[in-house]
Amino acid sequence: MASIHTITLGGKAGQGVKASGKVVGELLNELGYNVVILDDYPSLISGGHNFNRVTFSEEKVYAAYKETDILIALDKNTVEKHKKDLKKEHYIIFDSSVFQIEDKNSIGIPAEEFMKKADVPKRMRNSSFAGALCYLLGLDFDKLSHVFKLIFKNKAEPNVKIAKLAYNYTKENYKPLLKLKKKGKAKKLTTGNEEIAEGAVKVGMEVYIAYPMTPSSSILHYLAKKAPDYGLKVVQPENEISVINMGLGSAYAGKRTMVGTSGGGFALMQEGFSLAGMSENPIVVVESQRAGPSSGVPTYTCQADMNFLLNAGHGEFPRIVVAPGTPDQAFYKSGELLNLVWKYQVPAILMADKNLSENWMNVVVDYKKVKKGKEKMFKGKDYKRYKISKDGISPLAFPGTKNVVVKSISYEHDEFGIAIEDAENIKKMQDKRFSKVKHIEKEVDGLETIKVYGKGENVIVTWGSSIGSVLEAVKGLNNVKVVQIIYLEPFPKKKVMAQLKKAKKIIGVEGNVTGQLCELIAGKTGIKVDKKILRYDGREFEPSELNSQLKKEVK
C-alpha cells in the first residue's frame, strides 16, 4: 500500500492560509499525486484559527487525514493547536523572525524579513513557506514558479519573488526532507461547488441566482467571474425569497435556471418551492448544508437537512433530490438534474455540504459525458399550459411565442391555467402532476442512483461527502462493501434492497444526530440498519478514527 502524507498549514484568518493550501495542493497535483485539501475556518474575517490539511498519496485518496508529517505554522498558535496531530517523525516549518519554538525537528525561516526584502504586501508572507517547502520536498524551484503562474496568472510575480528568497535560504541552511518524483499527469484540482457550476453550464444553464450563504457562496463567486465567458446572467438579489421567485420567473421565461443557498436560506424559499410544484416551473435548488439549526455553525459541516428537503414545501408534489459525494459526481449530477427538471417540469434539489462544497480534490471529469437534454415543446394551436397527457408532461411555451398565452399560476387550475375549486378537476390535476413520478422513476433507474465499492457481507451505507472518509476508513478491512446512496427521491428501493438483503451486518455512517439515511432506508425498504456511526460536531469523519470504529463492528 502506498504511503499517505499530510501537510497541515495554519494561521489566522487574513494570513492567506487557504491560498497557501491551494498552492501546496496544486504543486503536488502537478507532480501527479492524488490530493485532497480540507479547508477549516471559523466565521471570522480576521483572527481566529484557520488551517488546511493537504493529504497526498500515489494511490487514490478520498479524504484528508489528521496525522501530520509537516506542519507549516504562520503563527505560534498553530503549533499549540496541532502538536497533538504530529506524527512521531515530523517537521515544523515556522517564521523564525516572529516567534520561536522548541522542537528538534523545527525548521525556522525568517519569512517576515523576506517580505520586507522582496517589498511585497504582508498578505504574501505565506508564499515564503511555499518556497521553503518546495526545497524541502526535493523539488526544483521552477515547479513552484509554474504553480504560482497557474493560480495567480499575471499577479504571480511578487509571490514568485518572495518564495525564491525562502527557497534559497532553506537550501543554504537545511537538507531536503523528501525527494518527490513526478508520478504522472496532473488532474483537475477542484471543489464540489465549482463542479456543480460546471455541470449546470454544460447542459445549458443560462441564469444563476443566489444570495451569499456559506457554504454555497462560492458557486455565486465562481459563476460571477465566469459569466462573460459562459454567456451567463448571474444575479444576487436582496434575499432568498427574491432568489427563488426570480428563479421561477426566469424559468417561466424559458431560461434554464439554478439557484443556490444553505439551510436557513432554503427555509425562506418554502413558499416559492411549493409554487414551483404547483406551477410546474423547472428549477434546480442547490442546498449546501451547514451545521444547524437556525444560523447554526456557518462555516462547518453537517448532513442534517435530508428530512427537511425530502418534505420541503406545503402540500404534495413530485420533486427530485440528489446528493453527490465527490466533485466529479457533483459535475455529473448537476447536469443530470438540470436536464431532468426541464424534461419533467418539477422542482429539484441538489444536496451538498460544506466538505463537498469547499474542500479540494483532484479528479478526472469526462466533460463529454454530460450533454444538454430536450424538453417537450408546444407545436400547434390552442395552447394549454397544463394539458393533461399520458406521461403528465405538458408541452412548454414561453412568453413572446406568437399567438400563445403562457400562464403560470399558484392556485389549483385547469389545463389553460385558470383557477378552479371543483373537486373533480382538483383531483384530475393532482393526478396529472403525480403521473410523472413513474416516468421519472423509470428514467432515473437507468442512472447511477447508488454507487457500490468492494464486496463483502458487512455493508456500510452512507451518503454525501461522508463517502470520502468511509472509502479511506475501509482500506485494509476485509469482507466489507460500501453502498453510497446518491438519489434520495425517487429512492432507488430495488437497487438498495439488492445490496442489503443478504448482508451479515449493516452499518450506517452519516453526519447527523438521528441517522436520517438509516431511517429513510428502513422506511423505504423495511430493512433496518444494525449499527449507526454518527458525527454531528460540525467536523468531518477523520479516516483513521473512523477506521478504528469500523474495526470493532466488522470483526
Chain-centroid distance, C-alpha 454 = 24
At residue 46, the pLDDT reads 80
Chain-centroid distance, C-alpha 426 = 40
Nearest to 36 by CA among 16, 66, 2: 66
Strand bridging mode 207-210 / 257-261: parallel
Is the same domain home to 47 and 129? yes
Strand bridging mode 360-363 / 347-353: unpaired
Q: Which three cell numbers stand for residue 76?
A: 505560534
d(CA 320, CA 323): 10
Q: pLDDT class for 247, splitting at 50, 70, 90?
A: very high
d(CA 391, CA 490): 16
* Contact between 197 and 223 (Cβ < 8 Å): yes
d(CA 67, CA 70): 9
Alpha helices in 347-460, H assignment, sequence order: 354-358, 423-434, 436-445
At residue 47, the pLDDT reads 82
Using the predicted structure, report yes or no on whether residue 167 has a pLDDT greater than 50: yes
Query: What CATH number should be reported for the domain holding residue 133?
Result: 3.40.920.10
Is the same domain home to 442 and 453? no
pTM (two decimals): 0.96
Q: What percent of the chain has pLDDT above 90?
A: 96
Last residue of a domain, one of 421, 447, 473: 447
Instruction: Work out the mean pLDDT of the chain and round it to a whole number.
Output: 96
At residue 258, the pLDDT reads 98
Is the same domain home to 327 and 365? yes
> Burial level of 415, CB count in 10 A (0-12/13-18/19+)?
middle
Give per-residue pLDDT as tens, 175-203: 999 899 999 999 999 999 999 999 999 99
Query: What CATH number should be reported for the domain holding residue 303?
Result: 3.40.50.970
d(CA 301, CA 356): 9
Q: pLDDT class for 1, splitting at 50, 70, 90?
A: very low
Alpha helices in 137-256, H assignment, sequence order: 141-152, 157-173, 192-202, 217-230, 240-252
Is the same domain home to 364 and 495? no
Is the same domain home to 16 and 117? yes
Last residue of a domain, one of 447, 473, 506: 447
Is the same domain home to 348 and 388? no
User: Can you name the residues that pair with 287 across neighbouring β-strands?
Assistant: 261, 351
Q: What percent of the chain has pLDDT above 70?
A: 100
Residues 6+ apart with CB under 8 A from 202: 331, 335, 367, 370, 371, 372
Q: Which three cell numbers stand for residue 203?
A: 447542459
For residues 229-254, average pLDDT = 98
Last residue of a domain, one of 403, 421, 447: 447
For residues 477-505, average pLDDT = 97
Is the same domain home to 172 and 214? no
d(CA 194, CA 98): 36
Is the same domain home to 199 and 326? yes
For residues 206-221, average pLDDT = 97
Is the same domain home to 396 and 353? no
Give per-residue pLDDT as tens, 76-105: 999 999 999 999 999 999 999 999 998 899
Give per-residue pLDDT as tens, 369-407: 999 999 999 998 899 999 999 999 999 999 999 999 999
* Contact between 223 and 200 (Cβ < 8 Å): no
At residue 2, the pLDDT reads 62
Using the predicted structure, report yes or no on whether residue 484 has a pLDDT greater than 80: yes
Query: What CATH number should be reported for the domain holding residue 502?
Result: 3.40.50.920
Using the predicted structure, report yes or no on whether residue 267 has a pLDDT greater than 80: yes
What single-letter amino acid sits at 425? N
Give per-residue pLDDT as tens, 6-27: 999 999 988 999 999 999 999 9
Nearest to 207 by CA among 182, 224, 184, 232: 232
- SS3 category, 215: coil
| 3-state helix, strand and coil shares in percent for the chain, rounded to the nearest 5 | 40, 20, 40
Neighbour tally for 373: CB within 10 Å:
15
- Side-chain-facing half-sphere of 487: CA atoms under 13 Å: 26
Is the same domain home to 104 and 159? yes
How far apart, in Å, do the first and last CA atoms of the chain sit?
Answer: 22
Using the predicted structure, report yes or no on whether residue 519 has a pLDDT greater than 80: yes
DSSP state for residue 419 in the 8-state scheme: B
Is the same domain home to 143 and 94? yes
3-state secondary structure 299-335: CCCCCCCHHHHHCCCCCCCCCEEECCCCHHHHHHHHH
Using the predicted structure, report yes or no on whether residue 292 has a pLDDT greater than 50: yes
**For residue 429, what are the domain limits?**
376-447
Is the same domain home to 67 and 11? yes
d(CA 319, CA 309): 10
Give per-residue pLDDT as tens, 110-144: 999 999 999 999 889 999 999 999 999 999 999 99
For the four alpha carbons of 370, 376, 379 and 385, in that order, the dihedral sign comes to negative
At residue 549, the pLDDT reads 97
Q: Which three cell numbers stand for residue 544?
A: 483513521
For residues 287-302, average pLDDT = 94
Using the predicted structure, report yes or no on whether residue 156 has a pLDDT greater than 60: yes
Q: Give the chain's domain count.
A: 4
For residues 442-448, average pLDDT = 98
